[in-house]
């Protein structure tokens, strides 16, 4: 049964979703699923100056890739739509008017130039200009608190620009509760009278956000710490409307790898890691930003890493599937202090997930790369051969892409040989020795790894030479360098004919 828990992720479509945004979405998703609730996506696009056309689709694609799709939103279970604020314009005007009528808001006609002059005047005296209880009725500011109703109406009729400001209360101590931070107390005299409705006929974030959270029956607002300073205004707005306020939870910032400051795209560029889930092309500049998906990360590894940026289960366990995260997640275990992002830890999660995936699953992921390299895997036999190869090298892979580098010699005769290895291991007498080995190999009937090992080693022992004299040049011939798993496993995998061919190739080329 669906519960009354309704949470929303409410991004502004101003560009690609930063991993901090994905983390916010993830915690909302986990909280919703944990409580059988609903996870809603609302697009907060009231700031037209910052609107970016491809951002909304990017956000949806990112949530889908992460496997945390929204339950309700644009074109999906639309119960309280529309879910784009730009399509809800009429509504906000109505609610702003209610606040004007109840005395919780007022018209302000101060022009940008006038406000700027006030600001500069204050700065000159070393003060900060705040528009609130201490000056709003002193006569220097032009608003409906000091003008008569007729004067206000005349200005509006004359088409003068105005905004609607919230009239924050004077001399009140506001008590608030945050699910993560506990009790927060604030003196309302420190608040400024924020604009709720703008000259362009659009609401500001604050008004639209509160109206929508109320109308969409949001039970918990889970969002980034950067919105904590807005909480008093939001709590007061609920009070002004006479609505029950949802519960609030402000998530800690995600910090730069060095610890101080918010993680930015620039940190990623500098240190060489993506800060976005998916690759993003800025349509205006053509700039392409890297994404975790395209960099080869598994979505579940990425999500597991993100879950730990600000939360922990209170045990040593670090590997959690999405289902396990849903089960274990608890807002009470989200930390108040910032979470340091670690590109190394992110890789570590990826590596762990690579190891826990079955050989079969990894093989499926590897096949398209083989096709790309022109290697055909035509039947089940060949596929199971690839799976054996995957099983022997997976341990050393972090990304699916690594599998090729680790195993290309299984599929291709080496065309180059590591010069250093050659110099050290391909000596006078080696070609003759390798030629003799070819003859030995030709006569081996049972080409299993164990048997080729036995027969070749016997031959070496009988010749009374060091193993290295044969084994190193042999590896060089087969792999092109002194790397790779157990040599006889390679021999058994590539087969007799290919083994002979590669040794003869090396004799000819080296
Ligand atoms: N539109 C805001 C943002 O971009 C939403 C903040 C909130 O969740 O209240 O983050």
In this structure, what token pair is assigned to residue 486?
């157990």
Are 40 and 132 found together in one domain?
no
CA distances from 157 to 152, 160, 162, 331, 403 (A): 9, 8, 11, 50, 71
Are 454 and 495 found together in one domain?
yes
Are 181 and 257 found together in one domain?
no
Are 25 and 12 found together in one domain?
yes
Report if residue 260 sits inside a domain: yes
* Residue pLDDT, tens place only, 223-245: 999 999 999 999 999 999 999 99
Question: How many whole angstroms from its chain centre is CA 135?
Answer: 44
Report if residue 205 sits inside a domain: no
User: In this structure, are residues 32 and 245 in contact, taking their beta carbons and an 8 Å threshold?
Assistant: no
Pocket of ligand 1 (CB under 6 A): 10-12, 44, 205, 209, 223, 227
Ligand 1 nearest-atom number relative to CA 10:
5
User: In this structure, are residues 235 and 174 in contact, taking their beta carbons and an 8 Å threshold?
Assistant: yes
User: In this structure, are residues 161 and 199 in contact, taking their beta carbons and an 8 Å threshold?
Assistant: yes
Alpha carbon nearest to ligand 1 atom 5, residue: 10
Backbone dihedral angles phi then psi of residue 274, each to the nearest 5 degrees: -75, 155
* Residue pLDDT, tens place only, 152-178: 999 999 999 999 999 999 999 999 999
Residue 2: pLDDT band by 50, 70, 90 thresholds? confident
Q: Which domain holds residue 129?
A: 90-197
Give me the percent of the chain exceeding a pLDDT of 90: 93
Look up the CATH number of the domain holding residue 178: 3.90.800.10
Residue carrying structure tokens 């109206």? 211
More confident residue, 3 or 105: 105
Alpha carbon nearest to ligand 1 atom 3, residue: 11
Any idea what DSSP says for residue 225? G
Q: How far is the CA of 42 from the centre of ligand 1 (A)?
A: 9
Question: How many whole angstroms from its chain centre is CA 219?
Answer: 25
Are 329 and 315 found together in one domain?
yes
Are 287 and 339 found together in one domain?
yes
Residue 48: pLDDT band by 50, 70, 90 thresholds? confident
* Residue pLDDT, tens place only, 269-322: 889 999 999 999 998 899 999 999 999 999 999 999 999 999 999 999 999 999
Report if residue 122 sits inside a domain: yes
Counting ligand 1 atoms within 8 A of each CB, the residue from 7, 9, 11 with the most, and so the one to mutate, is: 11
Q: Nearest 10 degrees: CA dihedral of 252, 258, 262, 266?
A: -150
Q: How far is the CA of 10 from the centre of ligand 1 (A)?
A: 5
pLDDT at 180 (0 to 100): 97
Look up the CATH number of the domain holding residue 296: 3.40.50.620
In this structure, what token pair is assigned to residue 198?
């703008």
Are 121 and 55 found together in one domain?
no
Distance, in Å, from the CA atom of 19 to the CA atom of 278, rounded to the nearest integer, reads 10
pLDDT at 50 (0 to 100): 87
Report if residue 342 sits inside a domain: yes
Alpha carbon nearest to ligand 1 atom 2, residue: 11
User: In this structure, are residues 438 and 452 in contact, taking their beta carbons and an 8 Å threshold?
Assistant: no
Residue 44: pLDDT band by 50, 70, 90 thresholds? very high
Q: How far is the CA of 151 from the centre of ligand 1 (A)?
A: 37
Report if residue 238 sits inside a domain: no
Question: How many alpha carbons fall within 13 Å on the CB side of residue 76?
Answer: 12
Counting ligand 1 atoms within 8 A of each CB, the residue from 227, 234, 237 with the most, and so the one to mutate, is: 227
Are 350 and 432 found together in one domain?
no
Residue 199 has pLDDT above 90, yes or no: no
Residue 1: pLDDT band by 50, 70, 90 thresholds? confident
Report if residue 217 sits inside a domain: no
Are 179 and 96 found together in one domain?
yes
Q: Nearest 10 degrees: CA dihedral of 447, 451, 455, 461?
A: 140
In this structure, what token pair is assigned to residue 320?
């959690």
Distance, in Å, from the CA atom of 441 to the CA atom of 274, rounded to the nearest integer, reads 50
pTM: 0.91
Query: How many domains are contained in the chain?
Result: 4
In three-state secondary structure terms, 143 is: strand
Report if residue 240 sits inside a domain: no
pLDDT at 355 (0 to 100): 97
Are 277 and 351 found together in one domain?
yes
Are 402 and 464 found together in one domain?
no
Report if residue 229 sits inside a domain: no
- What's the chain's average pLDDT? 96
Alpha carbon nearest to ligand 1 atom 10, residue: 11
Per the DSSP assignment, residues forming a β-bridge with 175 are 185
Q: How far is the CA of 11 from the centre of ligand 1 (A)?
A: 5
* Residue pLDDT, tens place only, 400-437: 999 999 999 999 999 999 999 999 999 999 999 999 99
Q: How far is the CA of 283 from the centre of ligand 1 (A)?
A: 23
* Residue pLDDT, tens place only, 70-119: 999 999 999 999 999 999 999 999 999 999 999 999 999 999 999 999 99
Contacts of 262 (CB under 8 A, 6+ apart): 20, 253, 254, 255, 256
Distance, in Å, from the CA atom of 251 to the CA atom of 10, rounded to the nearest integer, reads 14
Are 403 and 435 found together in one domain?
no
Distance, in Å, from the CA atom of 123 to the CA atom of 103, rounded to the nearest integer, reads 31
In this structure, what token pair is assigned to residue 290?
């890297």
Residue 21: pLDDT band by 50, 70, 90 thresholds? very high
User: Of 163, 197, 231, which one is at a domain's C-terminal end?
Assistant: 197
User: Of 167, 197, 227, which one is at a domain's C-terminal end?
Assistant: 197
User: Of 367, 386, 411, which one is at a domain's C-terminal end?
Assistant: 411
* Residue pLDDT, tens place only, 459-504: 999 999 999 999 999 999 999 999 888 999 999 999 999 999 999 9
Active-site position among 155, 265, 345, 347: 265
Distance, in Å, from the CA atom of 440 to the CA atom of 433, rounded to the nearest integer, reads 11
Q: How far is the CA of 398 from the centre of ligand 1 (A)?
A: 35
pLDDT at 47 (0 to 100): 87
Residue 36 has pLDDT above 90, yes or no: yes
| DSSP H or E segment with residue 178 | strand 173-178
Q: How far is the CA of 147 from the centre of ligand 1 (A)?
A: 35
Active site residue 138: no
Ligand 1 nearest-atom number relative to CA 14:
4
Residue 43 has pLDDT above 90, yes or no: yes
Counting ligand 1 atoms within 8 A of each CB, the residue from 13, 205, 230 with the most, and so the one to mutate, is: 205
* Residue pLDDT, tens place only, 384-407: 999 999 998 999 999 999 999 999
Q: Indicate the pairing of strand 339-340 with strand 195-197.
A: unpaired
Ligand 1 nearest-atom number relative to CA 44:
1
In three-state secondary structure terms, 290 is: coil
Any idea what DSSP says for residue 86? G
């Amino acid at each position: 049964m669906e519960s009354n828990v309704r949470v929303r992720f409410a991004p502004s479509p101003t560009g690609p979703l930063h991993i901090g945004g994905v983390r916010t979405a993830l915690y909302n998703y986990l909280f919703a699923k944990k409580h059988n609730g609903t996870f809603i996506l609302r697009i907060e696009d009231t700031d037209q100056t910052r609107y970016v056309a491809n951002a909304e689709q990017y956000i949806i694609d990112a949530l889908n890739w992460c496997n945390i799709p929204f339950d309700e939103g644009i074109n999906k279970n639309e119960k309280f739509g529309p879910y784009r604020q730009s399509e809800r314009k009429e509504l906000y005007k109505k609610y702003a008017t209610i606040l004007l009528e109840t005395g919780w808001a007022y018209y302000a006609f101060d022009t940008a130039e006038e406000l700027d002059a006030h600001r500069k005047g204050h700065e000159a005296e070393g003060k900060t200009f705040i528009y609130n209880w201490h000056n709003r009725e002193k006569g220097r500011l032009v608003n409906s608190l000091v003008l008569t109703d007729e004067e206000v109406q005349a200005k509006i009729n004359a088409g003068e620009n105005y905004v609607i400001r919230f009239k924050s209360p004077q001399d009140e101590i506001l008590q608030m509760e945050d699910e993560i931070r506990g009790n927060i107390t604030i003196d309302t005299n420190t608040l400024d009278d924020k604009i709720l409705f703008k000259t362009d006929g659009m609401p500001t974030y604050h008004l639209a956000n509160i109206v929508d959270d109320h109308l969409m029956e949001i039970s918990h607002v889970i969002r980034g710490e950067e919105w904590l300073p807005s909480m008093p205004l939001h709590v007061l707005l609920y009070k002004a409307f006479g609505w029950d306020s949802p519960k609030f939870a402000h998530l800690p910032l995600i910090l730069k790898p060095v610890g101080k400051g918010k993680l930015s795209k620039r940190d990623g560029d500098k240190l060489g890691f993506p800060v976005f889930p998916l690759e993003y092309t800025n349509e205006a500049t053509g700039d392409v930003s890297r994404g975790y998906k395209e960099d080869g990360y598994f979505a579940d590894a990425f999500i597991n890493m993100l879950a730990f940026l600000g939360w922990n289960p209170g045990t040593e366990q670090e590997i959690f599937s999405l289902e396990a995260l849903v089960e274990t997640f608890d807002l009470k275990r989200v930390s108040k202090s910032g979470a340091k992002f670690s590109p190394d830890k992110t890789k570590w999660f990826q590596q762990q997930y690579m190891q826990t995936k079955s050989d079969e699953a990894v093989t499926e992921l590897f096949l398209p790369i083989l096709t790309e390299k022109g290697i055909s895997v035509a039947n089940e036999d060949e596929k199971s051969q690839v799976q054996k190869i995957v099983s022997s090298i997976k341990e050393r892979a972090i990304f699916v892409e690594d599998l090729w580098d680790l195993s290309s010699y299984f599929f291709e005769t080496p065309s180059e040989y590591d010069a250093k290895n050659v110099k050290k291991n391909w000596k006078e007498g080696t070609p003759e020795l390798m030629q003799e080995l070819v003859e030995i190999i030709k006569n081996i009937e049972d080409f299993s790894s164990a048997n080729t090992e036995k027969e070749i080693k016997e031959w070496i022992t009988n010749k009374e030479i060091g193993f290295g004299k044969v084994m190193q040049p042999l590896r060089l011939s087969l792999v092109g360098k002194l790397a790779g798993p157990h040599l006889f496993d390679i021999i058994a995998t590539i087969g007799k004919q290919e083994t002979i061919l590669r040794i003869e190739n090396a004799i000819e080329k080296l």
